Structure 1
Amino acid sequence: MNRRTVLASVSSVLFAGCLTESSPGGSGTDEPDTSTPGMTKTTPGTTTTGSPDLQIPDENHCPPFGDDEKQVICYEYADSETNLLMTPSKEQAELPDDTVSFTLSNETGATFTTNYYHWMVWKLVDNEWFYIAPQVIPEPAMMLESSGSHTWSLTIDNTNLGSSIEGAQGTEDISLAGLGGGTYAFGISGWFQGQSYDESVGVATRFELVGNSLSLTPTDDLEEVNRDGDEKHVRVGQTDTTYLATRVENPDEEPMRKIPEQVIRITPIRNLLASFEDGVSRVRLDGRNTYLGETPQYIEYEGVAYRIETAGN
């Protein structure tokens, strides 16, 4: 089984567009041990090769996935009888702490190749889907035989948001912090036996989180050093890198819009933006080195454009 790990760098989440475009799974084709509890339930049956006759909804109520996904199967709350379906255990979960399960069922008559680590969560804001998690994805290919199913149990836990948000990962039990109230989607993509990954199918369902909106606050260990006019200087822990965030009226390039659920996952950016206040137009953060891609970069957060860079750029 291919155990290569794709390090989806934080810059790809923070500075890329609203949707990821990475293909699911790796090049390995070994089938997982289906006797492992909770992994993959299979029932003996006839498995065909080639593309099955999928029942595609007329309207897609979930993200369009990426360029590789040629078809997307998603009803608003999985109220359908399609032969490849993602079903939530409930349509609503309660913040700050609740659990909802999602079951992928394959009744197509063909083996579905996917990667149970590469589940995806998005949030819908102003009719636009924003990719939230995961950020680090192991890359084995896994097989879901016809008449089989796989279930993920997603726990949303906002009880301790003062620390840095850890990356969520898993094939069964997933814990995801830093989500506010609103409409979300949970999905995965894959392809059928006899096809290739560039003929992928996306499968997803929507769910609601009921509760307060997410407020962007700094981590508990952030300290203010000083304020000099319109510049604020902060630091966190042992430091080896200085980051700068500057409000800009006319950015040199079109900024990427980001929502709190995305920003809170990138600790330096979280601490920079959460440190702005009235009269501050620039924040300097001394912290640990975190790769943010090529800088400077421009983002839009809550209607304000910012230039993010490391000192010296």
Structure 2
Amino acid sequence: MDESSSPTVGRRRFLGALSAAVGSGVAGCPGTVGETERSGGTDLTPAPVPTIEAGADVLPGLSALPCPRFPGGAVVGNRVCATAPDDPLALVAYDRRAGLPTATLRFQFRNSGPEPLSGLSPPWSLQKFVDGEWHVVRPLRIRSGTDSAATGAADRRTWSLAVDNGATRRLDPRRDRGVELDGDVTRLPLAGLGGGLYAFVVAGWLGEVVRERPTAVGARFRLDGPALELTPTADVERTDPGGPAVVLEADPGLGEAVTYGLQPALDWEDAPTLPAEEAVLNPPLRNMLAAYSPSTNRVTLRTRRHPAYPVLSERLFSYRGTVFWVEPDPDEG
């Protein structure tokens, strides 16, 4: 038996990551927690300090995952790995499994220090584990104001992830209102999530003294459900199949006219992965991928650059096993 793949060695590596993370001022991602069954889901249960004994796998695969990323790439190269007992910011309880299409997951953080957690934009990150890597799928827009203040002051704050895949208006960047603050609860209305392994991370600075070393805490969890399938937005007005060449027209209501082209990049084998949960928040990209089929050699979209939409520029990416190239079409713009 390969010793490197044993649970004991895996837990030792996790604790090694804990030591390295604390040394660089980064904290987060406690080990898995005990589960209390109840009708319709699981109770919020305490998160223990990770040790070899308390770090045993309950959900196979969760604690074996690598540590998620820092929100917004604020600390390049750092990962959110583990919580030390004396860290002022700690995750004290969280939900670690839920079922789609609707789910509510709660993450309760405690700040025992004298300073509020603040200053990082964005202060939170929802990530999905796809193709062996963590990918940030929310938020895709960096905000100020409400989002930056959402981590709250000292004591405890609960972040509530309210997932409803039927609430399609939440996927429209023109209507996205960000987080909702209600007392000591920060609510995140979410939609467009498929089944899989996720991580939720909250981060910021604790006072002026450690501004060069922001801190972060997070947890990994599982959503049970089917994979997310992309469908066209309501703005798609016409689709011309045209054999292997598909032409779409969509009018979001504002912006200058632009034409995008998407086609498989047959000469490329490796490219950055694009999760469906990220693509669903970029309407032009979503519409082109929804129209693509294996018999298609090009999808053309005539639309407008709405100011609320994510910027779509030339890029190479891999989506569910196919490498694509997308670009503004210079011949039809």
Tell me, in whole angstroms, the C-alpha distance in 2 between the residues paired with 1:211 and 1:80.
35
Q: Deviation at 1:278?
A: 3.4
Shift of 1:168: 5.8
* Structure 1 SS opposite 2:215: strand
Shift of residue 264 of structure 1? 0.7
Please list the CA deviations of residues 20-63 of structure 1 after superposition, one character each: whole Å capped at 9, or x if unmatched: xxxxxxxxxxxxxxxxxxxxxxxxxxxxxxxxxxx898998531
Q: CA RMSD in A?
A: 3.4
What is the TM-score normalised by the length of structure 1? 0.69
In structure 2, distance between residues paired with 1:56 and 1:67: 25
SS of equivalent to 2:142: strand
Aligned to 2:289: 273
Change (3 A) 1:193 1:169: same
Structure 2 letter corresponding to 1:113: L
The 1:298–1:280 alpha-carbon spacing in structure 2 relative to 1, beyond 3 Å, is same
The match for 2:258 is: 241
> Please, which moves more after superposition, 124-133 or 78-87?
78-87
Q: CA deviation at 1:305?
A: 1.4
Q: Could you tell me whether the CA contact under 8 Å between 1:162 and 1:220 is conserved in 2?
A: no
1:175 aligned to which of 189, 192, 202 = 189
Over the matched positions of the two proteins, sequence identity in percent amounts to 27
| More divergent stretch after superposition (289-298 vs 197-206) | 289-298
Q: In 1, distance between residues paired with 2:160 and 2:119? A: 16
Structure 1 residues not aligned, in runs of 5+: 1-54
**Residue identity in the other structure for 1:236:** A
Give the match for residue 189 of structure 1.
203
- Which residue identity does 2:258 align to in structure 1? T
Corresponding residue for 1:63?
Answer: 68
The structural deviation recorded for 1:285 is: 0.9
Q: Report the Cα offset of residue 175 of structure 1.
A: 0.6
| Larger proportion of helix | 2
Query: Could you tell me how far apart the structure 1 residues matched to 2:106 and 2:84 are?
Result: 16
Q: Which residue of 2 aligns with 1:304?
A: 322
The letter of the residue matching 1:281 is N
How far off its partner does 1:72 sit?
5.4
Q: Which residue of 2 aligns with 1:138?
A: 143
- 1:217 aligned residue: 231
Instruction: Using the TM superposition, give the Cα deviation of residue 191 of structure 1 relative to its aligned residue in structure 2, in angstroms.
Output: 2.0
Q: In 1, are the aligned partners of 2:68 and 2:134 still within 8 Å (CA)? A: yes
The secondary structure found in structure 2 opposite 1:64 is: coil
1:295 equivalent to 2:299? Answer no
237-246 vs 182-191, which moves further: 237-246
Report whether the alignment pairs 1:285 with 2:301.
Answer: yes
- Give the C-alpha shift of residue 241 in structure 1: 2.0
The verdict on how the C-alpha distance between 1:294 and 1:120 changes in structure 2, with shifts beyond 3 A counting, is closer
- Aligned to 1:228, what secondary structure does the other structure show? coil
Give the match for residue 118 of structure 1. 123
Structure of greater relative contact order (alpha carbons < 8 Å, 6+ residues apart): 1
1:208 aligns with 2:213: no
Is the 8 Å Cα contact of residues 154 and 173 (structure 1) preserved in structure 2? Answer: yes
Counterpart secondary structure, 1:198:
coil
- Distance in 2 between residues matched to 1:94 and 1:80, nearest whole Å: 31
Higher percent of residues as strand: 1
SS in 1 for 2:212: helix
Decide whether the 8 Å contact of 1:153 with 1:174 is kept in 2: yes
1:132, CA displacement in angstroms? 0.8
The answer to whether the Cα contact below 8 Å between 1:158 and 1:178 also exists between their aligned partners in 2 is: yes
Following the alignment from structure 1 to structure 2, what is the Cα–Cα distance between the partners of residues 121 and 228? 39
Equivalents in 1 of 2:244, 2:330: separation in Å?
20
Report the TM-score when normalising by structure 2: 0.65
Q: Which amino acid aligns with 2:324?
A: Y
Work out whether residues 119 and 205 of structure 2, in 8 Å CA contact, stay in contact via their aligned partners in 1: no
Whole-Å Cα distance in 2 between the matches of residues 70 and 266 of structure 1? 26
- What amino acid maps onto 1:149 in structure 2? R
- 8 Å CA contact retained: 2:235, 2:252: no
Q: CA deviation at 1:225?
A: 3.5
Structure 1: distance between partners of 2:80 and 2:327: 40
Q: Deviations over 1:218-237 (max 9, x none)?
A: 22442444233421111123
Maintained 8 Å contact 1:112/1:190: no
Moved more, 160-169 or 261-270: 160-169
